[in-house]
Structures are given as C-alpha cells and as structure tokens.
A and B are shown apart, each in its own frame.
Chain A
Amino acid sequence: MGAALAGALALAATGGSLTVGSKQFGESLVLGELAVELARDVGVPAEHRAALGGTRVVWEALVRGDVDLYPEYTGTVARELLGGAVPAGDPAALRAALAARGVGMTRSLGFEDTYALGMRRARAAELGISRVSDLARSPRLRLGFTNEFMDRGDGWPALRARYRLPQRDVRGLEHEVAYTALAAGEIDVTDLYSTDPEIRRHDLVVLEDDLHAFPPYDAVYLYRLDLERRAPAALEAIRRLEGRIDAAAMIALNARAELDGVAPARVASEFLRATLGVAAAPEEEGRTARVLRRTREHVALVAVALLAAIALAVPLGVVAARRPGVGRVVLAAVGVVQTVPSLALLVMMIPLLGIGARPAVAALFLYGLLPIVRNTHAGLTGIPLELRESAAALGLPPGARLRLVELPLATPAILAGVKTSAVIAVGTATLGALVGAGGYGQPILAGVRLASVPLILEGAIPAALLALAAQALFDLAERWLVPRGLRRARAAGAIR
C-alpha cells in the first residue's frame, strides 16, 4: 500500500509510464510480464509489447524509445549488441558501454540461460558424446539450429571455429520445430537454452561447453537510462527481482508457461505472490474482451492499409493502362514488392517507422498494391476496342471517358482486386504481432512459442472468420458499386 502510494506520487510527479518489450520465447514473455506486474504494483501504468521480435528488433526498439525495458542476457549484450568489444563476464564494463547508448542494465536476476547444444540421451550414449568437442569425431551428424543461432556472432559460427567442427548438414529451423525434429530423429543436435523445460520433457543431454565457446548468459533487464528519472519507482520495483530467480525457479516457470500452457501473466503473478509477496493480480482480460480488442486492432490495420492501397493502386492502374511503357514498369515494381517475404519487409520497416501499427500498416499497404494495380490495369485494357472508340468518338475528353465509361466498366475487375488484397491483408496482418502491432497474430505467435493449440486457435479462428467477413462485405459492395446494367448483363451471360 505504501509502495503503491509512493508509486502514485512518483507518477504524479513524473507522469511516468512503462513499456516493456520481450522476445519471442516463453522465458522472455514471462520475464516481461514480471516487470509489467511489478511496475503496476507500484502504480505505474505498464504495457507489455509481448514477443516483439528477435534480439535485433527488441534492442532497436529500446534504443529508439519504443520500449523502455526488456529482458536480455549478458552474453548476448557483449557479443551481439556490443560487437564483442567488451567481455561478457565484466558487468561494470558492459554497463559503461551500454551507458554510451543511453541504456542501463540491472544486476543478474539470479540465473543463467546460456546457449547449449543438446542431443537425445540415447543417441548421445550410442556415439559416446558428452562434450561439444566430442562432436568433431562424428562429421555425419545432422545439425538443426534456430535461425538466430545460425547467424549470430556468438552462435554457430563461433562454435564451429572454436571446436573446428566438420559437419556440413546444418539447417535453420524454428526452436519448437527443432525439438520436434530432434525427438523424431530427423536431426541429431540442436541448440537450446539451458533453462528450456523441453530438456526434461524430451530427455535430452546438454553437451558440456568444454572449450568455453559460449560466454556467460546471465539474465538481466536492459532499460533506457531516462527511466531512472521518468519512472524511478517502477525501476526500483523491478530491481527487486535481482538475484531472486535461480535456474531451477526459471525452469519451473518456463515449464508452467510452455508445457502446462498457463498464460505468462498468470505464471508471473503466481511467482510474485510466492517470492516477493506482491499481491497484484495480473490484469486479466476476459476472452471476449481480448478477442474484441484484437479484432479492433486487426481490422484497423487492414482497413487503413487497404484504403491507402486503393488510393494509390487505382490511379497507378489507370496510368499503367494509359501508357503501356509506364505500365510495364509499374507492374514490375509492385510485383517485386510482392516477392519480398513478409517477415523481411516488416523488419525492414522498423528502422524507418519504429514498432507498432505503423510498420505493419506500411507493409500491408505495399502488399495490397499488386492485386489492385494489376486488376485495374486488366479491367481497363480489357474493355472492348469498339467501346473505347465510341467513347472517344462521342467527343468525351479523357477524364470524362474514364469516369463515365472506363472505370464503371472496369469496376468488377477492380473490386475483385480489392477483395483479393483484403483477404491477403487479413492473413498477413497476423504477422503484425511480430512488430508489436497487436491483432490476431498475438495469440497465434504466443501459441506457437508456447506450443499451445488453444492459444493458436484463439487467433486463427477469428482471422479466418474475418477473411470470410471481408469476402462477404465485398460481395455486398459489388451489388452497390457495379453498375446495374453491367451486373445484369453479366448475370444474363451477355458479357463477361
């Protein structure tokens, strides 16, 4: 109560609020929730941008000020964020280097979540492997690593160099998929985190890092230094976690969240009540309220992106139809956008637009262009020559021809393009959750991370329903927008 009052006063004094970020795995989500609930407990409004992305995305968000605080690991800070210039084992040096970027670092939360390599116990015994250096003796082993581990400076490249590992069959996989593949015997070795609850579930052995290729990965929170001024009470409350979570406790929390499918918010509040005596219940949003909120977020993403796409794509389609030379360039350009993988496009947007709805809307907008441009172009160029000639011969100027004849005749095609864009956007917008845009992607992503089918369905089912609704809406729009005569003639089979 006293703390809450102090927090409220501090808030009144500073107007502070806290935005917490997290990466896309269960432990990060739980640690994010812990910070959020501790801040709320002292009266600081806090928001969790859960499962924002990989290390790079969340770090950029912190530096830009889109989030104020997120859980990180010292080894990652040293190698990945500071480029290996500072030893991971030297907190003072890390703090100094981070301070130069306006970032602070708490003390260790009490556990290490280091990178490690794991194998099925039976397979490891069969090959006599217990240390990473033993791997060099079995060059035919099939390795499956998370994509992040494959690319990171402190991941596979460092390990291979350090141990002179000869394996050629190395693939990039999703973390959860890697466990499944390992269990199925499709791969022999994967990277894992030392606090993964799956280690126990799949009965894996963690290979000893005998040459110390991996630096220490102590769990900490990184935060913007201005937080010390803006929301000191929240920061102080969160610091209460320093040294309070040991490895066994973290594995248990991860098991609760990832194996038992308990919501990270509840896992966090249970832990806080048990260890710190913090009574704050998580803000539990009912399922209906949750789905409604995500529907609002999702529909807003799609609607804004689609309207913007229509506003640009229809004129582009008109220009493309009028000038074949320009048309080829325009169609090629919007086609190229379509080939950029949606995840890559989203991530590319972050440096320009930050995180949240803006990069998601921008990406959806770009994806929405092609079907509309192409259909507008096709609809206009598909108008029979005799009709285009008649309109011109009547002495209608080009603008009037477009408005009175060409666009009305092209509306069925244009609407079909808009409909395609809308349905694609509803699906693609689920990826918006990767950049903090919310929407139906949030439960889907969290569900994938936590291997929880109900959670996935909580996003996937409304997304499918929304796609159907969009389709129905455009069928209705067709009745309003396609000129009556055209509709009837099409129905009568008189024209296409």
Chain B
Amino acid sequence: MRAAQSTEGAPAIELREVVKRYGAEGLGPVSLAVPAARTVALIGPSGAGKSTLLRLVLGLVAPDRGEVRLRGAPLRPEDHAARRRLGYVVQGGGLFPHLTAGGNAALVARHLRWPEARVAARLGELAALTRFPAEALARFPHELSGGQAQRVSLMRALFLEPEVLLLDEPLGALDPITRADLQADLREIFASLGKTVLLVTHDLAEAVFFAHELVLLRDGRVLQRGSLDALVRTPADPFVARFVHAQRALGLPAGAAP
C-alpha cells in the first residue's frame, strides 16, 4: 500500500522526457501528464507518434530514455497486473477472430477464473452500457458490423473496470452515421464512468467533442497543449494554425468557433 499512499494526487498517467526512436522516426522527448478523471485527446497527423505514445504507457514498448509513471509509480516491464488496470482499444479494434464477441470481452476475466455467473452478469452490464445487442454476444467478429465490433472492443477494454482508458482511433474506420452514434454513446460512457481517458484521433472535431484538453503531436513532439480556443487563438507554431484551419474548413461544431 505504500505506493498508493505516496501517489495520492499524482497524475493518472505521466511521461517524463520519454524518447522512443525507430531510426530517424519515433517519439520524443515528450513530457505529458494526464490528471485523473480527465479526458485528453491526442491529435496530429499520421506518423506523429500517437500510437507509440499509447504503447509506451501500456509498456508494450520500452522507452529508450525517460520514464512512464502510472499514478506516480514507475511502470515496470511486463507488469501484467498493471496492464489490467488500463483498458486499451488498439487501432483497428484487435478483436480475436477465433473468439465470439462475448469470448473476446471476457477473455481476461475467464483467464483470472471469474465464476461464470459473474462473467455473464458483467457481460450483460457492459452490453447495456455500450448498447451492444446481447444476442450478438455469441457471434464471431467477422459476423459483426463495424460499429458493433468497436463496441465489443470497448467492452473488452472496460471489462475489469480499469482506472484508465487508452483508445487508439476507436472510431477510425466507421461510416458517418455509425460514427456519430458511437461518438454520442462514448461521450456518455466517459461522463458516467468518470475514468481517465487518453484518446487518439486525427479528427479535430471528434477531439473537441470528447476531450477536456487537446494535445497536438507532430514528428514525435508535443507542439501545443490546451483547449481548441487556445490552439486557434494562440497557435504555438505555424503548423498548429495550419492543422486547425485545415480541419475547420470541413466544419467544426458551432460552439467551438472562435
């Protein structure tokens, strides 16, 4: 319990001068703190390092330099218990094709030998929360629509009631209507659960819709952090202005206009 006491009030997620290089590309040095119960959106063009940042937080890749802390405690390599306190939706969904929707969602719980009744109850809860049709729990991923598959990914991420959600372009490949539906549902879920959420998107409108704060990444560096207002009014870099304007041309939510 010592770790928990010493971390009271520490950010849920913290990166300190983290560097991860893939040859000339990669991420960092990046420092970033996400306070508990906040939703932060990572935005930026593709190749900016958004997915790499999430992988570092999960410990899927180890930083070359710097440190990742979760609630103040340094992340240790291959800490499976720590990962279970993080819910992750990988870019593309990552559902296992050999397991049903329910089998995917409950995989880790079953590995941890939850009683079947408890698994079933939790599945029911999550299906209701994510508005996933309960009768489709027995279907395999290839038998689900894109929106349903994303809801299953979300159920799987939420199953063990993690403190933190890491979502990598969770609405990436959906048609506009499904996407709008799911956006609304997701925001409600985030609001009702009060979790710390770090969400990757390259869509500025979506970022504004979900997040308290935006973090704009480019070429592995944080260019600017703040509200959309701040990004629009006082861009820290010409690229920030270009990124914001390029996306505004496509239409931003009314309230977000400067």
Contacts and interface: CB of A to CB of B under 8 A. Distances in A.
Q: Do A and B come from one complex?
A: yes
Interface of A: 386-387, 389-397, 400, 404-405, 408-409, 483-486, 488-489, 492, 494-495
B92 interface: yes
Contacts of A389: 55, 60, 90, 94
Interface of B: 55, 58, 60, 80-84, 86, 88, 90-100, 107-108, 111, 140-143, 156
A493 to B, nearest CB: 9
B141 to A, nearest CB: 7
A404 B86 contact: no
14 contacts: A386-B94, A387-B96, A389-B55, A389-B60, A389-B90, A390-B96, A393-B60, A393-B88, A393-B90, A485-B142, A486-B98, A488-B142, A488-B143, A494-B142
Contacts of A405: 96, 107
A495 B142 contact: yes
Contacts of B93: 386
Best-surrounded residue of A404, A484, A485, A488 (most CB of chain B within 10 A): A485
A400 B99 CA distance: 15
Contacts of B100: 485
Contact of B80 (A387, A397, A484, A489): A397
**Interface majority SS (helix, strand, loop, mixed), chain A:** helix
B83 A394 contact: yes
B94 A390 contact: yes
A478 to B, nearest CB: 13
Contacts of B107: 394, 396, 404-405
A409 B88 CA distance: 21
Contact of B81 (A393, A395, A408, A486): A395
A165 B207 CA distance: 92
A395 B160 CA distance: 11
A395 B84 contact: yes
A396 B97 contact: no
B38 to A, nearest CB: 21
Contacts of A484: 98, 140
B92 A386 contact: yes
Contacts of A492: 142
Nearest to A398: B78
Contacts of B82: 395
A82 B223 CA distance: 88
Nearest to B55: A389
Sorted from nearest, which 4 A-B pairs have the closest CB atoms?
Answer: A390-B94, A494-B142, A395-B84, A483-B98
Contacts of B143: 488
Contact of B98 (A390, A393, A396, A485): A485
Nearest to A394: B108
A28 B255 CA distance: 101
A396 B81 CA distance: 9
B98 A408 contact: yes
Given A389-B60, A404-B107, A409-B96, A485 B141 contact: yes
B90 A409 contact: no
Contacts of B98: 408-409, 483-486
B111 A393 contact: no
A463 to B, nearest CB: 36
A405 B199 CA distance: 26
B60 A395 contact: no
Contact of A394 (B84, B91, B140): B84
Given A391-B96, A394-B83, A485-B98, 16 more contacts: A386-B90, A386-B93, A386-B94, A389-B94, A392-B83, A393-B86, A395-B80, A395-B81, A395-B82, A396-B107, A409-B97, A409-B98, A485-B141, A489-B97, A489-B140, A489-B141
A393 B142 CA distance: 22
A145 to B, nearest CB: 59
B83 A393 contact: yes
B97 to A, nearest CB: 5
A486 B96 CA distance: 9
A486 to B, nearest CB: 4
A390 B140 contact: no
A486 B81 CA distance: 29
Contacts of B99: 483, 485
Contacts of B108: 394-396
A340 to B, nearest CB: 38
